[in-house]
């Protein structure tokens, strides 16, 4: 018998975090700025504030270790399911052969948000600041719709307009999240669309063009630039998005304290870096401050988009066509075209500057895992813990299992924590393929990475 | 500003109910027994225990006011998200024009279970008792898959085999929940199937027969009868299922106490009756005991299947072909063929004997609402509370709005509670139709009900 109070821990609602945790002052080296693509120089404040809400731009470079969360936002967080539960994976542990309490796997339930992922943690905040600034709306892009649906809900909650450019492939084949966005009141365009100059170029040649995240980003940026009452919104990569996600880790830390635990291993999947960082942030901070110097903090990336393990730490464009800001990060090159793995959120060519610095300085580390092995772990997870995980979430599930079994082989005690970033109710296709034996892994020839890396822009840092 | 502790209430995990609430000793009249269809006499214990797990059969007629929940089950409940949160619909209230605290709408979040509905509350219990009895597995039917996926998870959790007969129409067009059942390890057959005598009759004539719940029930029953190591499992209607659902209402009562509230109105949708009764049970009990004699307890049924408002209180078959047990209940006649509304869980021709007695004795009452008005309310709900509700759940949402606006017109204070029975992530089609303006209501001619009611079986109660 297990003590039921140790299976799931609800943080008391009044203990919802009051501040975001800013890692910038603690980084082992200074975080490089975003560059303006036309000049390849640090983007001036007035340029960046034309792209993002002004408060977000301030947070992008803030140096205070803690940044206060406005009260109205905390109220909205509670309505939309914060604090989220922390659970122990009792049934999964048993199924992989663990017994007793020597090795424990905990997971943070970011899937319980109304749109089913961690994305609402920043969507709500960006919409809040946009509203405060007197803007009319936000424009963004989305692949399969995780981010687009989160921003749509954020805008609906704050009373803002929302326009989403959604890759046509997903728009047509995965109507679930598109319909959700429309219910929230968003205008959703299949991208490439005739709505923008950039989109029209592609659309006029092929009205069935399946689209790409790169094109959709470019369309959203162009649209946002048309009218000063609108701004562009981004769901990962940049510092302020990572900042907003730190509520996840702070709650997890408090919940671990309630259990009198501290994790030996912290795991998350890496696409842009925000879900991983959000959960890991307080543990990274404690490691940097030598309070807990030995925590093993692991990012899991797909072998189909191995930016951290096979990419380069370099300046690169954030979007695919070279119209957006340039960042210093681990990248596979902005012209990298990832294979169509189901974990759409992990296919991005680059990664957040913050996690890039941490990875380069070995504060955190990265492993690459294949689609078939992680989905297989996700199936076992669903069968035991009951929750259908998003394909992205299958990555830390697999790695948590890996770490647990390794500890068991070595006879070590271990407390493992991972971010259960989202549910898979809209990702049934991945599981259908797994069950029918048609799920595949994709070979990624080194030459393909080399060719893409050859397109990196040239930046002269001495000019900054 | 709202006190964040009054937006969502998490019951402390150790306060998960220890007993189920048995309404049978409190009913205004004795609950009639289930009849054996071959004899039209009360089904003998040894017949009913060949159909259902023996402990469930005992609970079907138990007279103790409280029945203890085994500790292992409470552990499993915690793993699978009990206690569920109680929330106040702050944003929805504001959107429909309510201000301040005179009128409050609370909802119980049964959608947070891993399969997305209240169904797991009994699925887990039936699987537990089947396992304890030494059985190998459970067999059931499902329409769109809510019940089938819950039982699949219940069986996976308890280590039992599970076979599900799923209407072929849903099997082919709504693969989401079928895949979920298969991940949980269930064997899912499109019904009518060549697996059973009854199914084969239909299947041989038309291999694309879309199926019906009636045929699927008959197939599941036939399959369960083949081998004494298996039993049939039912997701609503019978007394023991309603008993298992009383955890919902007991938690809601405790959560209301934490808020120092007691509901004036309690609302739920009615299909078989178990989600409604589960949430309403302690309030019904308090009304029967005259502790709270004035609580207005409302069932909402679809106008497309108006068994409570236009049906008859009579003996009728539980299945469509007259092979299953006969119950005394409000019914439209077992040959009633409901229109294809999206709230598949509310299309059943009959209702639980318990809620039938309560309705007949005016302890509770019923209103019938149309598909378009309830889905419209669901869209507003999603836009404000963020959660995409199941079409079934749109019914109490609409009625809560109705009750709130009526109270506002009359200048009354009112505390409204309803059971938010499930999410709609697998019901996107209903919303797609709403958004495109193609969602329809169905006319139900009185003659159709009359014709169906003419097929009721004859029962001589004096022979019991």
Does B114 contact A1 at a Cβ distance shorter than 8 Å?
no
pLDDT value at position A325? 87
d(CA A148, CA A128): 16
> In chain A, what residues touch B179 (CB-CB under 8 Å)?
428, 431-432, 435
Q: Is A265 on the interface with B (CB under 8 A)?
A: no
Query: Looking at residue A98, what DSSP letter applies?
Result: -
**Mean per-residue pLDDT, B226-249:** 97
Q: In this complex, which of A75, A184, A426 lies closest to B7 when CB atoms are compared?
A: A75
Note whether A384 contacts B: Cβ–Cβ < 8 A.
Answer: yes
How buried is residue A413: exposed, middle or buried, by Cβ count under 10 Å (0-12/13-18/19+)?
exposed
Is A133 an 8 Å CB contact of chain B?
Answer: no
A 10 A CB-CB count for A311 gives 25
B157 and A87 within 8 Å at the Cβ level: the answer is no
**Cβ distance B203 to B173 under 8 Å?**
no
How many Å lie between the alpha carbon of A123 and the closest alpha carbon of chain B? 13
* Contact at CB, A426 and B431, closer than 8 angstroms: no
Chain B closest-CA separation from residue A259 CA (Å): 14
Query: Within 10 A of B380 (CB to CB), how many other CB atoms are there?
Result: 18
| Cβ–Cβ under 8 Å, residues A310 and A331 | no
B159 contact A CB<8A: no
Would you list the DSSP string of A53-93?
A: -HHHHHHHH---SEEEPPHHHHHHHHHTTPSPPEEE-HHHH
DSSP states of A213-251 as a string? HHHHHHHHHHHHHT-TTEEE--SSSSHHHHHHTHHHHHH
Fold of the CATH domain A4-15+70-116+246-463: Rossmann fold (3.40.50)
Residue B256 binned pLDDT confidence (cut-offs 50, 70, 90): very high
B424 touches chain A (CB under 8 A): no
- Please state which CATH number belongs to domain A19-65+119-239: 3.40.50.1100
Tell how strand A103-109 and strand A86-88 pair up.
Answer: antiparallel
Alpha-carbon distance of B344 to B393, in angstroms, equals 11
Average confidence (pLDDT) over B130-157: 96
pLDDT digits (tens, 9 = 90+) for A241-254: 999 999 999 999 99
Average pLDDT over residues A151-174: 94
| Mean pLDDT in residue range B348-361 | 96
At A286 the pLDDT is 98
Q: B 99-128 residues with CB below 8 A of A? A: 112, 114-116
Confidence band (pLDDT; 50, 70, 90) for A355?
Answer: very high
More confident residue, A65 or A337: A65
Mean pLDDT of A209-233: 92
d(C-alpha A279, C-alpha B87), whole Å: 25
Q: Provide the token pair at A464.
A: 């900054």
Q: Mean pLDDT over all residues of chain A?
A: 95
* Residue B1 confidence (pLDDT): 58
**pLDDT surpasses 70 at A1:** no
Residues A87-131 have pLDDT tens digits of 999 999 999 999 999 999 999 999 999 999 999 999 999 999 999
Q: Would you place residue B345 in the very low, low, confident or very high pLDDT band (cuts 50, 70, 90)?
A: confident
For residue B25, is pLDDT > 80? yes
ipTM over 0.90 threshold: yes
pLDDT tier at B144, thresholds 50, 70, 90: confident
pLDDT at position A344: 86
* DSSP calls for B384-417: HH---B-HHHHHHHHHHHHHHHHHHHHT--EEEE
What mean pLDDT is reported for chain B? 95
Q: Which residues in chain A are classed under CATH 3.40.50.1100? A: 4-15+70-116+246-463, 19-65+119-239
DSSP A24: G
């Amino acid at each position: 018998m297990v003590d039921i109070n140790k299976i799931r821990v609800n943080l008391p609602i009044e203990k919802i975090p009051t501040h975001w945790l800013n890692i910038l002052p603690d980084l082992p080296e200074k975080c490089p700025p975003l560059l303006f693509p036309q000049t390849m120089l640090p983007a001036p404040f007035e340029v960046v504030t034309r792209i993002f809400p002004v408060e977000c731009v301030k947070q992008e470079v803030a140096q205070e270790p803690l940044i206060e969360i406005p009260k109205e936002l905390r109220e909205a967080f509670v309505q939309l399911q914060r604090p989220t539960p922390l659970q122990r994976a009792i049934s999964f542990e048993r199924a992989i052969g663990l017994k007793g309490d020597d090795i424990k796997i905990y997971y943070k339930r970011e899937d319980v948000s109304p749109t089913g992922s961690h994305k609402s943690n920043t969507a709500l905040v960006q919409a809040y600041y946009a509203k405060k600034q007197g803007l009319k709306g936000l424009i963004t892009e989305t692949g399969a719709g995780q981010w687009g649906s989160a921003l749509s809900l954020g805008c609906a909650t704050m009373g803002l307009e929302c326009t989403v450019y959604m890759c046509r492939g997903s728009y047509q084949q995965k109507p679930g999240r598109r319909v959700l966005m429309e219910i929230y009141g968003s205008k959703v365009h299949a991208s490439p669309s005739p709505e923008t100059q950039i989109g029209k170029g592609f659309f006029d040649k092929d009205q069935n063009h399946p689209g790409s995240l790169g094109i959709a980003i470019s369309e959203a940026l162009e649209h946002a630039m048309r009218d000063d009452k609108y701004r562009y919104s981004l769901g990962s990569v940049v510092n302020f998005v990572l900042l907003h996600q730190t509520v996840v880790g702070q709650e997890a830390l408090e919940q671990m304290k309630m259990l009198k635990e501290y994790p030996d291993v912290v795991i998350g999947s890496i696409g842009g870096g925000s879900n991983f960082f959000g959960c890991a942030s307080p543990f990274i901070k404690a490691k940097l401050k030598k309070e807990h110097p030995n925590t093993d903090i692991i990012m899991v990336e797909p072998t189909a988009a191995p930016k951290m393990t096979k990419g380069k730490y370099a300046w690169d464009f954030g979007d695919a066509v070279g119209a957006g800001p340039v960042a210093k990060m681990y990248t596979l090159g902005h012209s990298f075209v990832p294979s169509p793995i189901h974990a759409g959120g992990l296919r991005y060519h680059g990664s957040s500057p913050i996690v890039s610095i941490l990875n380069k300085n070995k504060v955190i580390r990265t492993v690459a895992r294949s689609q078939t092995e992680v989905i297989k772990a996700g199936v076992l997870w669903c069968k035991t813990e009951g929750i259908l995980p998003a394909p992205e979430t299958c990555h830390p599930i697999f790695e948590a299992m890996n770490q647990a079994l390794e500890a068991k082989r070595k006879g070590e005690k271990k407390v493992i924590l991972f971010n259960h970033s989202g549910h898979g109710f809209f990702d049934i296709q991945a599981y259908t393929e797994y069950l029918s034996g048609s799920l595949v892994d994709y070979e990624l020839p080194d030459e393909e990475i080399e060719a893409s890396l050859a397109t990196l822009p040239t930046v002269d840092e001495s000019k900054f």
